[in-house]
Every structure is written in C-alpha cells, then in structure tokens.
Amino acid sequence: MYPILLAALAPILWGSTYAAVGLFLTDLAPIWVAVWRALGAGLFLWLFVRRMPRMHLAKVFVLGFFNIGLFFILLMMAAYRLPGSIAGTLGATLPLLLIVMQWLAQGKTPQLKATLSALVGLCGVVLLLNPSADLDPIGVACALGATFVVAIATLLTKHWQVNDILGVATWQLLMSGVLLVPVAWFFEGAPSMIQMPQIPGLVWLVILNTAFGYLIAVNAIKQIGPNAFGMLSLLNPIVAVVLGMWMLQENLGALQWLGIALIIGSLLAANMRSKRRFKIAQISPQHDKAA
C-alpha cells in the first residue's frame, strides 16, 4: 500500500500546477515562469544525478525541445488563459491522443476497447469546449498543443528506448531551461523582479511539482509498474478540477461537467485490465516480472 500512496503523490502534485499559477504567479510572465521551472527543477535534480545522461546529447536535446521547452511554454500559456479544471482535463487526454497518433503514424490498429475509449474521450472534449463555455481560444489551442508535443516526446522516448529516465529528464530540463531564456527575453522582455508573495508558488512549482514529482514518478514506475502508474495519473485532472473549484472559485456548466466525466471515464476504461489478464498475472507472477 505504501508504494501506491507514494506514487499517487506525483499526479496529485502535477494537478496542482494551475492552482499554483492562479494563486501566486499571475503577475509573472508565462514564459519566464517556464524558464524558472525548467532550470530550477533541472538544477535540483542535478544534485541527485551529478553525471551526464546515458544517451546521445542530440537525442536528449530533441526530447527536451518537445517534452520540456515547447511543453512548458504551451502549458504555462494555457494555465494563464484557462480555468485550471479545463486545462488539466485537456492535458489528461494524452493516452487517448497516443492511441490515435500510433494508429495514424505507425499503422498500429488500436483494440476495440481503446478505440471506443478514444471516441468517448473525444466526445468529452467537444462537450468541455462547447461554445457556451466562452473559453479563450488561444488557451485551448495551447492546452491541446501541450498534450500533442508530449505525445511526440512519448513516442520518441519509446522509439529510442530511453532507459536512463532520471538522467535524461535532468538534462532535458537543464538544456531546455537554457534554451528558453532567449525565447522569454525576445517575447516578454527582461524578467521582472520576483516578489515575496510569489516565492511560495515558485517553490511549489519548481521543487515539489516538477523536481520531486518527477523523482516520485520515476521511482513509482520501477516499484509498481507503468500500467498501475497510468491508472494513478487519473488523479491529475481530478485534482485540477477540485483545486480549481475550491481555491480559485471556478464554475463549470452542466455540459462541461459531463465532458469531464466522459474524459475521465474513457481514461479509466482505457487503462483498466480485463479480469482474465488479471487472473493470468496472479497465476504467473514470474512471467509478469519478466515482462
């Protein structure tokens, strides 16, 4: 039970991103927040790693460009322009997007359950973004774009068989953080002075949300496996919705609530193992470990 509870902290921390921005960081420029988040978390993780990644630096750079650089910019823009409950739920559609991308780009025909889950999730997105919600179109595009670039990075990570997850993640953060500095300077000018009321939000976002969140996630994948951790990732949009309503007084319409329910339900269905597979795993634990 203890490894499960520890693993659950990662998606809970990630789901708090939008509340941290809304409560503490609204006066800071979004791309500079992405810079502080990437560089700060990378330097913190470096204290644990203290070595070069066990992967070609060109590949690390490409992964960092999608997984950190573009992702953090788009995520922060979405966090500043959308209610956290909306942005968090859109970001949680990553598993469904991966199903579609693998089908279109790799010709990998999805199973019936995965197909149905993706269709239900798509209906949920349509309801979540219905015209009556009057959402910022740039924020919506950024939230969906953030999910898309992470999907690209996920497929590249699988294709290149990245094994040094923590080392590669640390250098992705460091390299992308440096890369983001001139981008932030060009689009937003010199960084503004950080004020005392903003420090708790930055500490939460950099140390807990990003650095510790990633350490916990890497450990969780080793301890409980990627499938179990995938199920726990459903906590991310749930936390984003709860904190948005509780701390930021966000109000959602009936269609948006239905959309959130459909998206979370589709993710739950896509991640659930069948009873037959569960029984096989119980009967053959050694085979499960080998996999």
pLDDT by 10-residue block (mean), the chain, 291 residues: 83 93 94 96 94 93 94 95 91 83 80 82 88 89 93 87 88 95 96 94 95 88 73 84 90 89 85 48 40 37
Q: How many whole angstroms separate alpha carbon 276 and alpha carbon 285?
A: 14
- Locus of tokens 């999805």: 110
In terms of Cα–Cα distance, which of 227, 250, 267 is closest to 99?
A: 267
Q: How many whole angstroms separate alpha carbon 21 and alpha carbon 27?
A: 9
pLDDT of residue 221: 76
- φ, ψ of residue 240 to 5 degrees: the values are -60, -40
Specify the length of the chain in residues. Answer: 291
In terms of Cα–Cα distance, which of 156, 16, 134, 24 is closest to 84?
A: 16
What b/e sequence results for 211-238 when a residue is b if at least 16 CB atoms lie within 10 Å of its CB, and e otherwise? bbbbbbbeebbeebeeebbebbbbbbbb
Q: How many whole angstroms separate alpha carbon 34 and alpha carbon 56?
A: 25
Q: How many whole angstroms separate alpha carbon 183 and alpha carbon 73?
A: 10
What are the residue ranges spanned by the domains of the chain? 2-290
